[in-house]
């Protein structure tokens, strides 16, 4: 795959091992208050600090982290996938959450997508709820998906009862699509109803034109 642009390889769900170190290091996005960058093993303590909270993971479908070492292993095995970003506060340099893009070929995704579509997922530590940081991060991810990766539709989902995630999607212009009942949640051995929303390239262009 040498010579193929990094964003093309990411859209195709190809492992970041096919990208050069220099390419990976450049995969950084910024907003007014945030830096979105690849996770590093040195983020393990910050990740554990927020991901151990039982109010964070279970409502999104994953168990609380159990130790700094557990968080470090998750960085290495899960969060190192292409287009997974640590949500880092510019003010402190601390990783306080996560936002990422998943394609149909990604190991972890929930939406049923076409090749030119993706799904976005996110969370942020409880001390930062209600500050508009995740909508800020998701809006930049949408720009990245449509402008840089040239995707046509971005999907998102939330489990029944996750009103905070629902509000984030509404704030970012996602439009309700459908619900799927009896959806397995493998990491928690649970069954839930999941609601899906989406935003198309045309929807996004119309939205930013009126901001």
64-81 tens-digit pLDDT = 999 999 999 999 999 999
Rounded (10°) angle between helices 44-51 and 68-77: 110
| Joined tokens for residue 166 | 């629902």
Cα separation of 186 and 108, whole Å? 11
pLDDT in the model for residue 65: 98
Span 141-182, pLDDT tens digits? 999 999 999 999 999 999 999 999 999 999 999 999 999 999
- Smallest CA-to-CA distance from 88 within 78, 80, 98, 79 is with 98
pLDDT in the model for residue 110: 67
The three-point CA angle 76-135-63 to 5° equals 40
Cα separation of 119 and 91, whole Å? 29
Q: Which segments in the chain show pLDDT lower than 70?
A: 1-26, 105-110
């Amino acid at each position: 795959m040498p010579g193929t642009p990094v964003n093309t390889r990411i859209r195709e769900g190809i492992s970041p091992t096919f990208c050069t170190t220099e390419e990976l290091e450049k995969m950084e996005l910024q907003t007014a208050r945030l830096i979105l960058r690849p996770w590093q093993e040195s983020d393990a303590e910050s990740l554990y600090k927020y991901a151990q909270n039982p109010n964070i993971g279970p409502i999104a479908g994953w168990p609380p982290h159990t130790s700094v070492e557990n968080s470090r292993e998750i960085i290495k095995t899960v969060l190192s996938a292409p287009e997974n970003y640590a949500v880092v506060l510019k003010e402190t340099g601390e990783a306080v959450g996560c936002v990422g893009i998943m394609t149909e070929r990604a190991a972890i995704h929930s939406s049923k997508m076409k090749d030119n579509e993706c799904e976005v997922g996110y969370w942020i530590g409880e001390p930062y709820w209600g500050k508009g940081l995740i909508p800020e991060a998701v809006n930049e991810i949408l720009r990245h998906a449509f402008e840089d990766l040239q995707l046509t539709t971005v999907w998102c989902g939330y489990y029944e009862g996750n009103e905070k995630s629902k509000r984030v999607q509404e704030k970012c212009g996602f439009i309700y699509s459908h619900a799927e009942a009896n959806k397995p949640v493998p990491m928690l051995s649970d069954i839930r109803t999941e609601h899906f929303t989406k935003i198309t390239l045309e929807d996004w262009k119309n939205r930013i034109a009126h901001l």
